[in-house]
A = this chain, B = another copy of it.
Amino acid sequence: MTATRTGRPRSESTRLAILEAAASLTTELGYDGVTIDAIAARAGAGKQTIYRWWSSKSMVVADAVIAGHLRLPAPELPDTGDLGVDLKAWTTAAAAAASDSQLVQVVRALVTAASGPEQDASRLYEHITRPTYELLVNRLRRGQDAGQLSAAVSAESVADALIGTLLFRALARLPLSEALTGLVDALLPQDRGTGAGTTPRT
């Protein structure tokens, strides 16, 4: 029994223009550089229109990410049947993403946004972090089923370690590739001898 609303309906084109503006401004200036005024100006919208539908800057940016207007550093994770090969592919893609300063910019924006109200943070987690996280966990579980990863280890913990390493070294501006390769090697001991990662780093 949805109350039949009267009055002018919400403008879809304005909604899109606002998300688009938020996305491009975040990419260009980083999260802190984005302002509601600038979003409104670029979108050709009134500020009130933004405040009518979103509670804060962080929610606008979060929605822009969720709606896909902001390209996200979500490395692909194939499933060739060989977990080691697949994780190396993910590692390579992640390292590439981390070397793209615009993507890192967006990550920092999301970290900052996630520092905001609990409600905004969980919305971001649900739509952004969790999909990647569950993709990893599921692939790891299939690897365990195939005997490529010990069934005794926690797939979630491995996913945490992979994503955490990615996040830590990206934020700290440290080289990423060897760290992830080394981690995969440490977790998949039987993979010995196939990659650069087998040589302990100095």
Q: Which residues does A use to contact B, with CB under 8 Å?
A: 30, 32, 108, 111-112, 114-115, 118, 121-122, 125, 129, 150, 152-158, 160-169, 171-174, 178-183, 185-187, 189, 192, 197-198, 200-201
Contacts and interface: CB of A to CB of B under 8 A. Distances in A.
Contacts of A30: 115
A185 B152 contact: yes
A154 B201 contact: yes
A105 to B, nearest CB: 9
Contact of A111 (B111, B156, B174, B186): B111
Q: Is the interface of A mostly helix, strand, loop or mixed?
A: helix
Contacts of A200: 152-155
Contacts of A167: 164, 167-168, 171
A32 B174 CA distance: 24
B158 A168 contact: no
B186 A158 contact: yes
Nearest to A7: B46
Contacts of A158: 182-183, 186
B183 A157 contact: yes
A182 B168 contact: no
Nearest to A144: B200
